[in-house]
Amino acid sequence: MADLSVETTDIPGLLVIRMPVHGDARGWFKENWQRQKMTALGLPDFGPVQNNMSFNAHRGATRGIHTEPWDKMVSVGTGRVYAAWVDMREGDTFGTTVSLELDPEVAVFVPRGVGNSYQALEDNTLYSYLVNDHWRPGIAYPALHLGDASAAIPWPIPLDEAEISEKDTKNPSLEDVTPLPARRPVVLGAGGQLGQALLAALPDAVGLTRADLDLADAEAVAAFPWRDHDVVINAAAWTAVDDAETPGGRPGAWLANASAPATLAALSRKHGFTLVHVSSDYVFDGSQETHTEAEPLSPLGVYGQSKAAGDLAVAGAPRHYLIRTSWVIGEGKNFVRTMQSLAERGISPGVVADQHGRLTFTSDLADAIRHLVSTRAPFGTYNVTSDGPIVTWADIAKRVFELSGRSADDVAEVSTAEYGQGKNLAPRPVHSALSLEKIKATGYLPRNMDDALVAYCRS
């Protein structure tokens, strides 16, 4: 008896599963869907929600080629079928065909956009398929004629001898099929620093601002076509840390940082998209010099508390990447640009020297998100910042002054308490550095912070 295995094919994402069948005098038994074992071998954790059975009374019954807009895993309960698949998706592999005989020991994972068909090779054949979306009436999807010359499927039983539905005899040829477009990722918070970087890194993405879609608007959320998107990246947030402590700011911080992620997590569970959510080092109190992904949440202020609540909500989405980052620098107003301006104007500032961490450049953060999604890294929480030595805000200011032609000595070091005199500042973690071992284990190597800072200052 063969071991469980998963094999790739010429159609990207179409996977063949060889599965053990345990038999004795009473019959046989098999694990037709075993999430833990199969996903460990590379099968997507596609989240089936419906199981359909198709009984074929006579040899020669032939069905397809249908391209429903969901993933499915097809198998045989009894009998044998000759199955064929045609890639109907936009791209270089459009029209690629794979065919295979299925019996109880062989199953196939069919990704959304790949046409599926089969022909019963025995009487009383039972064909089964798991799908990750509920069937709904009125769904339109591409179909292909079973005898299409370009697909050239070598049906064991000639089609003029097979039993075919009238509907399938009227399906178009491949040259008349409109390819199924790829589902495009969505970037929420597209107008912000990170949102802009994500749209640059993901040119096919749909960028939305709050004016385009307000997650607090139940009608707008219900009307949005979530099923048309496979990845939703939440780069929207309330980032005014000090204002979050005020009576006017507190509700806004909780709405953006906690309620909105909770809404997205619920939508991810319902519609099956992968949720990417960006969080912060402020979910920790800074008592640890370096924070791992597993450290318990311990936020100090309202901003951190609202972000921590969002983290807990996102963790409930089956397919999620929770990205924690710190000291973010992108296009627009930020700490580095402020220091450059001060250096150019001959001003010598006092900068906090008792908060420790690393910068994160939005282009790198966007690149890391793209890496996690495209490589299908294991879902979960990942820290993403620049790499290199842990520094203070004063250290960064001194380096920016040097890169601007000023002396590092022109930056005075002050304590957080000194800087905060006369100001209503929210509490800040003393240590914001995040461990990068987990993201590195996926094959992504963050840029050295100083190299990134030099490039940024020269841009």
Look at residue 276 and tell me whether its pLDDT is greater than 80: yes
Tell me: do 310 and 421 sit in the same domain.
Answer: yes
CB 361 within 8 A of CB 329: yes
Q: Of the ranges 97-101, 152-156, 187-191, 421-425, which one carries the lowest mean pLDDT score?
A: 421-425
Query: In terms of domains, do 223 and 162 share one?
Result: no
Regarding whether 364 and 303 lie in a shared domain, the answer is yes
Residues 12, 161: one domain?
A: yes
Residue 66: active-site member: yes
Its domain, for residue 316, covers 186-457
Does 227 or 66 have the greater pLDDT score? 66
What are 108-146's pLDDT values in tens digits? Answer: 999 999 999 999 999 999 999 999 888 877 777 889 999
So what's the pLDDT on residue 394?
Answer: 98
Contact between 243 and 249 under an 8 Å Cβ cutoff? The reply is yes
**Pairing of β 72-78 and β 106-110:** antiparallel
Instruction: Quote the number of domains for the chain.
Output: 2
| CATH number, domain with residue 442 | 3.40.50.720
Q: Mean pLDDT throughout 214-239?
A: 94
* The last residue of a domain, from among 158, 176, 194: 176
In a domain, 409, yes or no: yes
Domain shared by 293 and 440, yes or no? yes
pLDDT of residue 422: 85
Q: Give the helix/strand (H/E) hosting 362.
A: helix 362-374
User: How far apart are alpha carbons 433 and 429 in whole angstroms?
Assistant: 10
Q: How far apart are CA 185 and CA 391, in angstroms?
A: 35
127 is catalytic: no
Identify the active-site residue in 82, 129, 282, 303. 129
How many helices and strands, by DSSP H and E, does the chain display?
Answer: 13, 25
Residue 272 in this model has a pLDDT that exceeds 90: no
- Do residues 19 and 98 share a domain? yes
Q: Are residues 290 and 321 in the same domain?
A: yes
Structure tokens at 238: 């309330």
Whether residue 327 is contained in a domain is answered as yes
Q: Residue 150 has which token pair?
A: 């370009």
Does one domain contain both 168 and 244?
no
Residue tagged active-site, from 66, 229, 271, 419: 66
Q: How confident is the model at residue 1 (pLDDT cuts 50, 70, 90)?
A: low
- Residues 36 and 150 both lie in one domain: yes
Tens-digit pLDDT profile for residues 334-343: 999 999 999 9
Residue 181 placed within a domain: no
Residues 211, 156, single domain; the answer is: no
With respect to residue 140, please indicate whether it lies within any of the assigned structural domains. Answer: yes
The model's pLDDT over 311-320, given as tens digits with 9 standing for 90+, comes to 999 999 989 9
Tell me, yes or no, whether 170 and 194 share the same domain: no
What is the pTM (predicted TM-score) of this model? 0.83
Looking at 149, 176, 203, the residue that finishes a domain is 176
- Of 126, 141, 176, the domain-final residue: 176
Whether 375 is in a domain gets the answer yes
* pLDDT tens track for 367-404: 999 999 999 899 999 999 999 999 999 999 999 999 99
Confidence band, pLDDT 50/70/90 cuts, at residue 423: confident
Are 161 and 192 part of one and the same domain? no
